Structure 1
Amino acid sequence: MEVAENTIFYKAIGSEMDVFIHANKLKLPLLLKGPTGSGKSRFVEHMAHRINTNLITVSCHEETSATDLIGRFIIKGAETIWIDGPLTIAVKNGYILYLDEIAEARPDVIVAIHALTDHRRELFIDKLGETIKAAPNFQLVASFNPGYQKGFKELKPSTRQRFIALSFDYPAAKIETEIVSTESECSQEIAQKLVAIGNKIRNLTELGLAETVSTRLLVDAAKLIQDGLPKRLAVHIAVVEPLTDEPDTIQALKDLCDLMI
């Protein structure tokens, strides 16, 4: 669980900021859809700071359960006491709760947030036998990657229709260059070359990569270059190696990147 405190750089690529402000004002659940590293989490952190509200982020995984979100009893000394989970804390205090990669979580998580995503705005804590009305400023935001493990871990239509939704994708080359340069403090020339590499690999669909080059990976490569690591090595370890373990594909990508950098 992370609580956002400081401002964070985000470059808008459309009307997503306006959508978020209206959704927050109306307290509508918001779903962010898009590939890994396309700025979903960064966007939520930036907007929480922009509207001056507290944000609790939960990175969901296959073991994330409703108990993890709602809370549990623990033994403290000779007593058994209840500890609120991040969802309960956000509901009671009127924070934004961001469930990152919600489709990765166990099905009971969806059940837990069910009544929070409609007109009731309630959280039922079965272990306490209590129902809590969400504080006026509470908002639920979730994200998922539609292309990841397609057919295995997807949100049901009945769940998706409880949210308004925004689609994210990798930004246009000009904007992505600005992001890479700003985040890493590297030159425009280096940023442009890295973005060109990223776009080239993204278009190589024949490689069958499970995930393609994210803006995050390009920023990491730029930071390494800016810190003095040789350009080719930086691209190899920050862009190529995270994408695949197949030796032939790695070599092909390295050869491509060497030519372009």
Structure 2
Amino acid sequence: MSEKMEQYRIHQEPYYRSTGDEVALYEAAYSVRMPMMLKGPTGCGKTRFVEYMAWKLGRPLITVACNEDMTASDLVGRFLLDAQGTRWQDGPLTLAARHGAICYLDEVVEARQDTTVVIHPLTDNRRMLPLEKKGELVHAHPDFQLVISYNPGYQSLMKDLKQSTKQRFGALDFNYPEHVTETEIVAHETGVNGDVAGKLVSIAERARNLKGHGLDEGISTRMLVYAGSLIAKGVEPLAACRVALVRPITDDPDMRDALDAAVTTYF
């Protein structure tokens, strides 16, 4: 493997707790190079799962955080000017296709639809990427795979994937883990004891019940890890929860009071 790709290789096993048959299903999908779509709420472990699978499969992983200003050139590449004149620089998608990496487009619906169209020829039996500006046709490396993720709860009619895009992918659903599993994850990632981790998970479960009733999004596993990390550093639990769990997800005073009350129930 080229030195260029070595920086994208994951050398240490990422901590990932399986919650079903997603690991086996993903391995089967990779064995036939099926493009995959990971669906689930923010901070529930989609990115960690992709990192874990890239490590398990021994493939480099190139991650792109999609946004509405992202152009097709940001994905495929562009000509740059330097002292020697113009030179072509591959974008992350081209780099992955050329060298056989897994390319992970995170929150893909944030990208404009005219940008996501460039992935179409890579996600059917052609497995190729036309670089129109360069006049080159990149045939995907045999090990290349495309993975996208998004949060279905956030989608509006304005922001959703076209059917012509969705139907090119296999899909795995993700959600927040069961209480016991999530408690283990929080304890492992932060160093707090199981009792504290369990209380944090209970607070999150209460908040998730408020989704759609004043909260756009529940408290994610990622946020629990932040709170647990603060507590492990000696921050008082009420303050840690206020900073890491309550204040980030709502500005509504009544909702904050309700969440603060949930925190004080456990701490």
Which stretch shows the higher mean deviation, 93-102 or 249-258? Answer: 249-258
Aligned counterpart, 1:228:
234
Q: Does 1:256 align with 2:262?
A: yes
Aligned counterpart, 1:212:
218
* 3-state SS of paired residue (1:213): coil
Rounded to whole Å, the distance in 2 between the matches of 1:251 and 1:151 is: 32
Rounded to whole Å, the distance in 2 between the matches of 1:35 and 1:2 is: 26
Deviation at 1:89, TM superposition (A): 0.5
Cα pair distance change 1:93/1:63, threshold 3 Å? same
Deviation at 1:179, TM superposition (A): 0.5
Among candidates 55, 58, 61, match of residue 55 of structure 1:
61
Aligned counterpart, 1:109:
115
Q: Aligned partner of 1:150: which letter?
A: S
Cα pair distance change 1:232/1:43, threshold 3 Å? same
Q: Deviations over 1:54-112 (max 9, x none)?
A: 00000101111110010011111141111111011000001000000000012122211
Contact kept, 8 Å, 1:73 with 1:81, in 2: the verdict is yes
Q: Aligned partner of 1:241: which letter?
A: R
Cα pair distance change 1:206/1:43, threshold 3 Å? closer
Contact kept, 8 Å, 1:2 with 1:57, in 2: the verdict is no
Contact kept, 8 Å, 1:5 with 1:54, in 2: the verdict is no
Aligned counterpart, 1:163:
169
Aligned counterpart, 2:49:
43
* 3-state SS of paired residue (1:208): coil
Deviation at 1:205, TM superposition (A): 3.8
Q: Aligned partner of 1:49: which letter?
A: W
Q: Does 1:245 align with 2:259?
A: no
Deviation at 1:158, TM superposition (A): 1.7
Q: Aligned partner of 2:179: which letter?
A: A
Among candidates 30, 40, 47, match of residue 36 of structure 2:
30
Rounded to whole Å, the distance in 2 between the matches of 1:238 and 1:113 is: 36
Which stretch shows the higher mean deviation, 36-45 or 250-259? Answer: 250-259
Aligned counterpart, 2:12:
6
Q: Does 1:129 align with 2:135?
A: yes
Q: Deviations over 1:180-216 (max 9, x none)?
A: 0101111000011001111111112463211111000
Contact kept, 8 Å, 2:59 with 2:102, in 1: the verdict is yes
* 3-state SS of paired residue (1:147): helix
Aligned counterpart, 1:178:
184
* 3-state SS of paired residue (2:153): coil
* 3-state SS of paired residue (2:137): strand
Deviation at 1:151, TM superposition (A): 2.5
Q: Does 1:80 align with 2:86?
A: yes
Count, aligned residues:
261
Structure 1 gap segments, 5+ residues each: none
Rounded to whole Å, the distance in 2 between the matches of 1:71 and 1:171 is: 38
TM norm structure 2: 0.94
Aligned counterpart, 1:147:
153
Deviation at 1:5, TM superposition (A): 4.1
Aligned counterpart, 1:192:
198
